[in-house]
Amino acid sequence: MDPQPIRLVIFDCDGVLVDSEGIALEVLVEALAEKGVLLTTDEAAERFLGRSLSSLTEVVRSEFGVEIDPAFLAGMRDGLYARFRAELDPLPGVAAAIESLKAMQVSCCVASSSQRERIELSLSVTGLLPRLSPHIFSATMVERGKPAPDLFLHAAAEMGVSPSQCLVIEDSPAGIRAAQAAGMKVIAFTGGSHTGHASYQKALTHLAPDGQFDAMENLLHFVLGARRPEDLTDA
C-alpha cells in the first residue's frame, strides 16, 4: 500500500525554525550554577533538550534535590529573552521552505515545548511569525509535554489532519519520541548549532527517526517522499 500523502508539516520551533538551543543551554547552565547545580552544556542537553519548563523543574528536583521557584524561572526567562532579541537568527532556508510548502498546498504549524510567549518572541525577532501565525501550539495547551505524544496529536486535531498524514520536523530526542508515539513520520533536523553534542548524536542513532537532514532546502524531498533508502539521509 502506498504511504498516505503528507498534508501537514509540524515544525518544532527551537533548533528547527530558529537557532536558539545553543543560547538556551548556555543560559540554563549559568542559571543552574547559581543554584549549585553544576552541569556542562552537553550534560544539560542530554537532560533538558526539547523539554518543557515543568519537566525541567521535575528533573532538577528529583536528580539534584533543588527546588526551582517562580522567581528563578522568571529571571532565567528575562535573561534568555534579552539574548534572543540581541542574537537569535532563523535557520537558513526556513522562510523559503515554508513558502514552498504553501505553494504545494501543504499546511504548516508549530508545536513546541516552549511557552507561547517564547515561541512568538522567537518567531517575531527572526521574521517568521507572519508565515506561521496563528497555527502555533505550545506544551502549555496539553496535559503532558514531549516525549508524550499529546502536543503533536493536539496540533494535528486542531489542523484537521490525521496523524498518518503528518510529517514532524524535530531536533530533540524528546520530540522525536513524541512524534513516534503519535504515529507520525518524523525527520530529524540536524542543522542547528547545538547538534554536535555527543549525547545528542548517540540519542539520534538510538531513536532511528524516518530520516535526517541538515539543510532546510532539502525538506521538500521528504514531503514528496524518498524513493531510495539512501535518500533518507542527506548529511
Active site residue ranges: 12, 14
Torsion of CA 152, 165, 184, 216, to 10 degrees: -80
Q: What are the grid coordinates assigned to 168, written together?
A: 514532524
Beta bridge partners of 8: 107, 166
| Whole-number Å distance between alpha carbons of 211 and 143 | 29
Asked if residues 128 and 97 have their Cβ atoms less than 8 Å apart, the reply is no
Peptide bond into 173 cis (omega under 30): no
C-alpha to C-alpha distance for 168 and 183, rounded to whole angstroms: 10
H or E element, residue 23: helix 21-34
For 45, the grid coordinates are 542537553
Residue 113: all three cell numbers together: 515545548
Distance CA 138, CA 155 (A): 9
Strands across the sheet with 211-213, in order?
A: 136-138, 107-112, 8-11, 166-170, 185-189, 211-213
Q: Are 106 and 223 in contact (CB under 8 A)?
A: yes
